[in-house]
Amino acid sequence: MKASTLRGADLRLGYRGTSVVHGASLTLRPGRVTALVGPNGSGKSTLLRAIARLHRTESGSVTIDAPDGAARPADALSAKEFAREVAMLSQSRPHPSGLSVRDIVTYGRHPYRGRFTGLSDRDREAVDTALELTGLTLMSERSADQLSGGELQRVWLGTALAQDTGVLLLDEPTNHLDLKHQIDTLDLICDLAARGTAVGVVLHDLDQAAGVADDVVLLAAGRVRAAGIPEDVLTGEHLSEVYGLQIDTLVDEDTRRVRVLPRARHRQRPRRPEPEFSTL
């Protein structure tokens, strides 16, 4: 397993001349899960895309550790070299037609293959492992046209895993998944970190973030509001300020896991009595 550290330092990012991320810094370390959280439009996905070299930086730097530990500018690597170090599961992905699940997952081996070379034994092993990890082995020969949105989400996750990188970036990986596959995906994220992968993940569900993250980066209006371990970042004060509603948090004394409790207007609504039906 590769062990790489990916850093974005003092990043300023924008669209068509308008800055949307202002001086944000982020470090993804081997063996740790870093969750990016915040309201819609806070800059989470843009920041993740920037450190994946998918969004141009106005200023700041993105670096990745070399095997000897020295930091290399990410843009000094070729596209294939960078793809051997960093994989990303984006929100927007094509809907492939006429391809099998295995065909799509095999795309993850592209950074390791020559233009006219076939699959090596190592390529096939990586694809089989990715299919197994995402629970897709039994449907590997099915056409993508037959898959649900949630199943296709898992296929693209398998493609990212097949890249076999030291850094994995995931933008809302539990979207479109039912509860079981949400939990399976979160467990897989933790398993990958335990193997030494540096994981950066955008999550909207704060309880999910608290459950999997070693570190949390809370963004608001394109700025980092707080960064650190979950119990220091996911506080009622921070979350109430950023989300614009009253939010309470509890920390389990044994597990140190944070629970997030928004105060919805109808949370304490009394239960309506059951209607009475007359019988004739």
Considering the chain, tell me which residue range(s) the CATH 3.40.50.300 domain(s) occupy.
Answer: 1-85+165-280
Q: What is the CA radius of gyration of the chain?
A: 21
pLDDT tens digit sequence for 88-115: 999 877 777 889 999 999 999 999 987 7
Report the b/e string of 213-252 with b at 16+ CB within 10 A: bebbbbbbebebbbbeebeebbbeebbbebbeeebebeee
Where in the chain does DSSP place strands (E)?
A: 6-15, 18-28, 33-37, 57-65, 71-73, 86-89, 167-171, 198-202, 215-220, 223-228, 247-251, 258-262
pLDDT at 106: 96
**Paired residues of 72 in beta bridges:** 64
- Helix (H) / strand (E) containing 183: helix 179-194
Q: Is 202 exposed, middle or buried (0-12, 13-18, 19+ CB in 10 A)?
A: buried
pLDDT band at residue 70, thresholds of 50, 70 and 90?
A: confident
Secondary structure (3-state) at 55: coil
pLDDT tens digit sequence for 178-196: 999 899 999 999 999 999 9
N-to-C CA span, the chain: 73
Provide mean pLDDT across the span 15-29: 93
pLDDT at 263: 87
pLDDT tens digit sequence for 143-171: 988 988 888 889 999 999 999 999 999 99
CA–CA distance, 163 with 159 (Å, rounded to integer): 7
Nearest one of 51, 94, 32 to 230, comparing CA atoms? 32
For residue 116, the tally of other CB atoms under 10 A from its CB is 5
For residue 43, the tally of other CB atoms under 10 A from its CB is 24
Q: What angle do CA 112, 172, 15 make, to 5 degrees?
A: 85
Candidates 3.40.50.300, 3.50.50.60, 3.30.420.240, 3.30.450.40; CATH matching 1-85+165-280 = 3.40.50.300
pTM: 0.89
pLDDT at 246: 94
Nearest one of 58, 55, 61, 54 to 26, comparing CA atoms? 61
